[in-house]
Amino acid sequence: MNKKEKLIKKNLIYEGKILSLYNDEIETPIGKKSYREIVRHSKGVACLALMDGYIYFVKQYRYAYDKEILELPAGKVEEDENIFNAIKRELKEEIGFISNHMEYLGYIYPSVGYTDEIIHLFFSSDNVISTTDRDEDEFIDIIKIKIKDAYSMLDNNEFEDAKTIILLSKLRKVLMKD
């Protein structure tokens, strides 16, 4: 049986700077009409940046959760921007790193039920410290954590951010060898 749903009509509810909200009318595989609420989101990038046995994190207040979250450097891909350029820009902006070695690790769908967001994942090593270049509305603390301590934190469920958990998990075998 074909399980694909057919779009009947796109209904834009809200259009913002980084996302748009739709309530699309669709037809199910058995011919019934239904609706899908979808957040259309710009692409994102995230990176585990390593230097001298430390993983570099950012801690910033996240309004949606009303608290500070410890996470790996990340951000949105600007329109017509290459994902490699986007992550290099984000590393410079958030933690002041210029990467001499960047490895692409694939992508994730952070929440498949209601958004089309895709986050591209990277590993950065052989970094050079530069200056940060943050947006005026970003208030970020840079936190460096020893590799083994970061994995203890992961095992103790101290990370809440999905992209951070996934990147740490993906790189565990590689980073814990040392």
Q: Which domains does the chain have, with CATH numbers?
A: 6-41 (no CATH), 46-103+123-175 (3.90.79.10)
Tokens matching residue 42: 């710009």
Residues carrying an active site annotation = 136
At 177, the amino acid letter reads K
Predicted pLDDT of residue 175: 86
pLDDT in tens, 52-111: 999 999 999 999 999 999 999 999 999 999 999 999 999 999 999 999 999 999 999 999
Report the distance separating Cα 165 and Cα 109, nearest Å: 14
DSSP code of residue 160: -
137 pLDDT above the threshold of 80: no
State the pLDDT confidence band at 37, using cuts at 50, 70 and 90.
Answer: very high
Residues 6+ apart with CB under 8 A from 70: 57, 58, 59, 143, 158, 159, 160, 161, 164
Q: b/e per residue, 14-28, with b = 16+ CB within 10 A?
A: eeeeeebbbebebee
State the pLDDT confidence band at 178, using cuts at 50, 70 and 90.
Answer: low
Predicted pLDDT of residue 72: 98
Mean pLDDT, all residues of the chain: 94
Residues 6+ apart with CB under 8 A from 26: 5, 6, 7, 8, 33, 34, 35, 36
State the pLDDT confidence band at 176, using cuts at 50, 70 and 90.
Answer: confident
Q: Which residue has the tokens 């005026």?
A: 136
Percentage of residues in the chain with pLDDT exceeding 70?
A: 99
pLDDT in tens, 3-33: 999 999 999 999 998 899 999 999 999 999 9
Note the pTM of the prediction, 2 decimals: 0.92
| Mean pLDDT (whole number) for 148-175 | 96
